Structure 1
Amino acid sequence: MENQEKLYQTAFALAMFTIIYNIAEGLISTYLGFEDESLALFGFGTDSFIEVISGLGIAHMILRIQKNPDSNRDNFERTALRITGVAFYLLVAGLVVSSVYNIWTGHKPLTTFWGVIISAISILIMWILVWWKRKVGRQLNSAPILADANCTLVCVYMSIILLVSSGVYEIFKIPYIDSIGTLGLAYFAFSEGKECFEKARTNKHCGCTE
């Protein structure tokens, strides 16, 4: 029982770290994305802020299942999911419109150097979080925690898209690659938004695959 309590404390600590990291990543990415005129980096940072809302719901979920592992999703979590879903859809609309506009006008970022650096750091940290959350989830035999770990993989995928688009542009200066990378981010943001609304309507866990 004591070991179980420590595992739940670890799960909660990981959730809080994810929230704090996303706040920092969002602030840095949106600032540098704006300064460097990199839509992909700016969109990546905006996504990080939305992940903070989702993270609050996850932290609350951990406290709930710690008290009652068999309990269902409550109103706080459902509300957080709906807010997160709306925010993702708004982000998708903004990213798609901005990407099309940039392609139409031939706009290019000043540099995507920071996109490469930030995405590389994010991939490393998110992979560690995925591994650690899965470890705790397996030890607790907790489907919700394992589902959260699998959903963290989406952040890894988005970081990879940012890394590739930023890296290719920085090396080869291929036109529109930043906007194409932004559309890739929009695809994953749409998927996350859709899943948020599905989870808000039911008690099923994250549909992300391992």
Structure 2
Amino acid sequence: MTELQRKLYRQAFALALITIFYNIAEGMISTYMGFQDETIALFGFGIDSVIETISGIGVAHMILRIQQNPNTPRDAFEIKALKITGFSFYILTAGLVVTSVYNLYSGQKPETTFWGLVIASISIFTMWALIWAKMRVGRALDSKPIIADAGCTRVCLYMSVILLISSLTYEITGLPYIDAVGALALAWFALKEGRECFEKAKSISVCGCSDGCH
């Protein structure tokens, strides 16, 4: 491994750590404010951030493994992290769907979605910056897993946009069902991410490949 490659892998690892710590902070704040303001979209967004932390730990572990030996296949820790992440996304999907349907039926609405606006705006900027940085490093290393991680961050960006739209729409219109609809949109993305996690774990277990298996 060249000195340039080592430098790039250090950057990739730093980006993984930033993603982990940002998701921890975002998850704690979002779930707390979502619970306080009774907005299921913000609360679900926070839970998603917590789940993304598990995925981020798996990515950080993967980068360290590749640094030490680029030719080693993904290990049991990474596969287990994918399965735990996928299962957590399925639970989140079920919770969001059930709660959203109940809120639509009962007419339950948030006290405010102001914090959803604030958090979503910060998240959009942060995710965009992380996507750009991860894609730059991933392309420089020609690393499919790092580029795939940038793709996962892009999904987080999409979810942030959904939260922003639903929060802004509710603040403007005050329509009671907007928050629940936003939560259902988040549930769709959570389901998609969960399915992809299990597909990745299955493909790795079957083919036993290394850097290109994702």
Counterpart residue number, 1:64? 65
In the alignment, the residues of structure 1 paired with residue 189 and residue 7 of structure 2 have an alpha-carbon distance, to the nearest angstrom, of 34
Residue 50 of structure 2 corresponds to residue 49 of structure 1? yes
1:15-30 equivalences under 5 Å are 15-30=16-31
Counterpart residue number, 2:90? 89
Normalised to the residue count of structure 1, the TM-score between the two structures is 0.96
1:88-107 equivalences under 5 Å are 88-107=89-108
In the alignment, the residues of structure 1 paired with residue 63 and residue 128 of structure 2 have an alpha-carbon distance, to the nearest angstrom, of 20
Q: Percent identity?
A: 64
CA contact (8 A) 1:147 1:205 kept: no
Residue 186 of structure 2 corresponds to residue 185 of structure 1? yes
In the alignment, the residues of structure 1 paired with residue 176 and residue 158 of structure 2 have an alpha-carbon distance, to the nearest angstrom, of 23
Q: Which amino acid aligns with 1:91?
A: L
SS in 1 for 2:70: coil
Cα gap change, 1:165/1:205 in structure 2, threshold over 3 Å: closer, same or farther?
A: farther
CA contact (8 A) 1:85 1:196 kept: yes
- C-alpha displacement at 1:205, in angstroms? 4.7
- C-alpha displacement at 1:112, in angstroms? 0.2
In the alignment, the residues of structure 2 paired with residue 26 and residue 151 of structure 1 have an alpha-carbon distance, to the nearest angstrom, of 17
What is the aligned-residue RMSD (CA, Å)?
A: 1.0
Q: Where does structure 2 lack aligned partners over 5 or more consecutive residues?
A: 205-211
In the alignment, the residues of structure 2 paired with residue 130 and residue 187 of structure 1 have an alpha-carbon distance, to the nearest angstrom, of 21
Counterpart residue number, 1:34? 35
In the alignment, the residues of structure 2 paired with residue 200 and residue 144 of structure 1 have an alpha-carbon distance, to the nearest angstrom, of 13
Counterpart residue number, 2:199? 198
Residue 109 of structure 2 corresponds to residue 108 of structure 1? yes
What are the superposed Cα offsets for residues 44-89 of structure 1, whole Å, 9 maximum, x if unpaired?
0001000010101000111112223333221000001111111110
Counterpart residue number, 2:169? 168
SS in 2 for 1:152: helix
Counterpart residue number, 1:74? 75
CA contact (8 A) 1:33 1:39 kept: yes
Counterpart residue number, 1:125? 126
In the alignment, the residues of structure 1 paired with residue 151 and residue 70 of structure 2 have an alpha-carbon distance, to the nearest angstrom, of 19
Counterpart residue number, 2:207? none
SS in 2 for 1:90: helix
Q: Which amino acid aligns with 1:198?
A: E
In the alignment, the residues of structure 2 paired with residue 97 and residue 129 of structure 1 have an alpha-carbon distance, to the nearest angstrom, of 32
In the alignment, the residues of structure 1 paired with residue 45 and residue 213 of structure 2 have an alpha-carbon distance, to the nearest angstrom, of 25
Normalised to the residue count of structure 2, the TM-score between the two structures is 0.94
What are the superposed Cα offsets for residues 113-138 of structure 1, whole Å, 9 maximum, x if unpaired?
01011001000000000000000011
In the alignment, the residues of structure 2 paired with residue 139 and residue 16 of structure 1 have an alpha-carbon distance, to the nearest angstrom, of 19
Q: Where does structure 1 lack aligned partners over 5 or more consecutive residues?
A: none
CA contact (8 A) 1:95 1:183 kept: yes
Counterpart residue number, 2:209? none
In the alignment, the residues of structure 2 paired with residue 79 and residue 17 of structure 1 have an alpha-carbon distance, to the nearest angstrom, of 22
